[in-house]
Amino acid sequence: MKFLSSHELALIFGLLGNIVSFMVFLAPIPTFYKIYKKKSSEGFQSMPYVIALLSAMLLLYYGLLKTNATLIITINAIGCAIEVTYLLLYIIFATRKDKIYSLGLILLFDVGAFGLVMVVTIFFLKGLNRVHAVGWICAAFNIAVFAAPLSIMRQVIKTRSVEYMPFSLSFFLTLCAIMWFFYGIFVKDYFIALPNVLGFLFGMVQMILYIIFKDSKKVSNQKCDVHHIWIATDSKLDSFDKGKKLQNGCADEARTNEMKMFACHTSRKSIEKIPRKSIENMA
């Protein structure tokens, strides 16, 4: 029985990594279709796409510096094009304030930070030192990106809700980490392999948390005697003690500058609207 060589295995895992990564890049399409249909950014944040673009740009630069890194170059070139498209759509339909903020982020990270990396590595480093320096930067940046879901996992444990941690995304990110880990191992590129160990571990933890809490009832579905008020924002849920803030009150979908939804369920006997001013004072 003939075993596959390291080169052949690297090619297989690299191709699979390209396919899965492409699917991950396409994951936000429903979000941007919604933005396009409503002609509004709807409170979505541009930061994830700014960071995703920087990550793809760094890996593309790293792939261009290396030899025989075609599979790294192809997927990250595609990723750059996709993320630029997302950001253009976001800026077109965002409010003036969000446009200015997003353009500032792009200038800071995708132009400033990436430009600084290029200037330092091109003018002050040569040969393998340049490749290794960019490799370390990519590895450190990817570790930071993989660590970002820690706040989401903490939120899931605290709220016992997986609303903000879809299983499909966790699954594909874990699968993506596995593919690139083995690609890195077989081509002996540890700048690619090592960060994906963390990506795999965090992905597994996210899926385990999903399995544990997927059947937990959401606070908004409880009929009565709820002891907390939940404020759902774009990125997190904050809990306020009902006893300190409200007594026998109910406010549904009250919007403030930083809220998307606000709901408080109380006893069936007494429900009264809370003035908007009172809700804003709580925030």
Asked if residue 22 lies in contact with residue 213, where contact means CB atoms within 8 angstroms, the answer is no
- Between residues 20 and 234, the one the model is more confident about: 20
Taking each helix axis from N to C end, the angle separating 47-65 and 127-147, rounded to the nearest 10 degrees, works out to 150
pLDDT range class, residue 1, cuts 50, 70, 90: low
pLDDT of residue 150: 83
pLDDT of residue 44: 85
Region 141-169 average pLDDT: 86
State yes or no: pLDDT of 164 exceeds 80: no
pLDDT of residue 102: 96
H helices of the chain, in order, are: 6-26, 29-38, 47-65, 70-93, 96-105, 114-124, 127-147, 150-159, 167-186, 190-213, 242-245, 276-282
* Top-confidence range, 34-43, 220-229, 239-248: 34-43
pLDDT of residue 5: 92
Token code pair at residue 183? 């690609």
pLDDT of residue 162: 86
Task: Give the percent of the chain with pLDDT over 70.
Answer: 76
- Between residues 74 and 154, the one the model is more confident about: 74
pLDDT of residue 218: 54
- On the 0-12 / 13-18 / 19+ scale of CB atoms within 10 A, 196 is buried
Kindly report the CA angle at 12 between 6 and 5, in degrees rounded to 5? 20
State yes or no: pLDDT of 234 exceeds 80: no
* pTM for this predicted structure: 0.74
DSSP state of 111: I
Tens-place pLDDT, residues 176-197? 999 999 999 999 999 999 999 9
CB atoms within 10 A of CB 105: 19
